[in-house]
């Protein structure tokens, strides 16, 4: 095993959360508190818990062998109602590399709850499995499974949120910027599930989040209220606008997603002209800081929400985000299954 000293990047959490996890004892307490919990929303985490999950994500990326047998013989089942490349492979790779096993169940032709009630499915799965991962259309499928299963349930995407993506995204920003304090994060496009989780995570981390959407495509009102509440508590801000160019001014990161998500294909023709002014292109990126990064959860529709010139530029960190899905989800799974009682001893904190 490589025992060289690993220097971790500085963190951008609120000062209270950052200070708290400097203690190994405190990390162990947080990990114990997360064991057995569900992750249906990124707001299921407190600021301190999200800080600890991100700390662990950096650790598992830097020193994977430290966690090679952390979840030996543990079983993960993955029910996916939507197509997937990154989510499926990163969860499977994450579970396999900590000693566990992942079982994929294709639900694209038969949504959960159709053949058998979700509570009955939950009562079966908890007898065989240690963790349930769901990628669904209806967010209620995730919450109903979580309410009825005695093992942790992880939201791997629902119509309302994409919390695992948000953990990977802020991990990527920490790698690039270190301390996130005062960071200006701009999301441009549809106020969808990805946008929701980014708003909530950014608020927990004390980041200044600006969201620019077309009229009629704003984020969910309950999410807005929750994000503002969290931002006020942790030193960040939430700003909503319909002006993409204005939102991009001075940004440290510009993020976008597809204009038409899975399940909304019938609206693609209608949406195309509405979202055209929100395309992330070289002109829009020029409004941001010179050091700004471009982010996208992928898959990207080149020429629609983003141009090739931006997606393939040196500012683009989209494939770092994709890689970090694996590390972030490994950290989340380790925490929820009690496989992360401490951080590696040879890690040097700031």
Known active-site residue 165: yes
Give residues with Cβ within 8 angstroms of 316, minimum separation 6.
Answer: 293, 294, 296, 310
Could you say which of 38, 325, 327, 329 is catalytic?
325
Could you say which of 88, 162, 234, 327 is catalytic?
162
Number of DSSP helices (H) and strands (E) in the chain, helices first: 14, 11
CA dihedral 317, 166, 148, 126 (to 10 degrees): 40
Could you say which of 257, 271, 296, 321 is catalytic?
257
Could you say which of 195, 297, 321, 327 is catalytic?
297
223 exposure class (CB count in 10 Å sphere: 0-12, 13-18, 19+): buried
Known active-site residue 162: yes
Going through 221-342 in order, the beta strands assigned E by DSSP cover 237-241, 253-256, 293-296
Known active-site residue 22: no
Q: How many CB atoms lie within 10 A of CB 239?
A: 15
Distance CA 41, CA 139 (A): 10
Could you say which of 58, 135, 196, 271 is catalytic?
135
Going through 142-196 in order, the beta strands assigned E by DSSP cover 153-155, 184-188
Known active-site residue 325: yes
Reduced to 3 states (helix: H, G, I; strand: E, B; else coil), residue 201 is: helix
Known active-site residue 242: no
Could you say which of 63, 107, 165, 315 is catalytic?
165
Contact 197, 50 (CB under 8 A): no
Rg (CA), the chain: 19
The residues annotated as belonging to the active site are 135, 162, 165, 257, 297, 325
């Amino acid at each position: 095993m490589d025992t060289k000293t690993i220097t971790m990047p500085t963190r951008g959490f609120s000062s209270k959360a950052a200070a708290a996890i400097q203690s190994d004892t405190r990390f162990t307490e947080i990990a114990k508190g997360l064991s057995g919990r569900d992750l249906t929303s990124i707001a299921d985490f407190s600021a301190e818990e999200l800080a600890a999950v991100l700390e662990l994500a950096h650790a598992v990326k830097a020193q994977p062998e430290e966690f090679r047998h952390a979840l030996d013989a543990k079983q993960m089942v993955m029910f996916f109602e939507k197509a997937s490349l990154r989510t499926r492979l990163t969860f499977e790779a994450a579970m396999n590399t900590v000693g566990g096993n992942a079982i994929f169940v294709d639900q694209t032709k038969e949504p959960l709850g159709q053949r058998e009630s979700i509570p009955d499915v939950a009562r079966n799965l908890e007898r065989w499995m240690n963790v349930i991962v769901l990628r669904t259309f209806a967010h209620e499928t995730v919450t109903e499974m979580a309410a009825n299963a005695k093992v942790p349930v992880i939201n791997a995407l629902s119509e309302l949120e994409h919390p695992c993506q948000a953990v990977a995204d802020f991990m990527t920003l920490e790698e690039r910027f270190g301390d996130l304090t005062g960071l200006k994060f701009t999301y441009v496009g549809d106020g969808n599930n990805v946008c929701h989780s980014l708003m909530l995570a950014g608020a927990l981390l004390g980041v200044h989040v600006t969201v620019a959407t077309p009229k009629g495509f704003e984020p969910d009102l309950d999410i807005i209220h929750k994000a503002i509440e969290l931002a006020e508590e942790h030193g960040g801000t939430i700003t909503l606008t319909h002006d993409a160019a204005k939102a991009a001014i001075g940004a440290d990161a510009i993020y976008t997603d597809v204009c038409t998500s899975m399940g909304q294909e019938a609206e693609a023709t209608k949406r195309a002209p509405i979202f055209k002014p929100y395309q992330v292109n070289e002109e829009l990126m020029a409004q941001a800081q010179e050091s700004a990064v471009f982010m996208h959860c992928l898959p990207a529709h080149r020429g629609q929400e983003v141009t090739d010139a931006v997606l393939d530029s040196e500012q683009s960190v989209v494939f770092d985000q994709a890689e970090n899905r694996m590390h972030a989800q490994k950290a989340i799974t380790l925490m929820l299954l009690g496989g992360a009682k401490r951080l590696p001893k040879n890690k040097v904190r700031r």
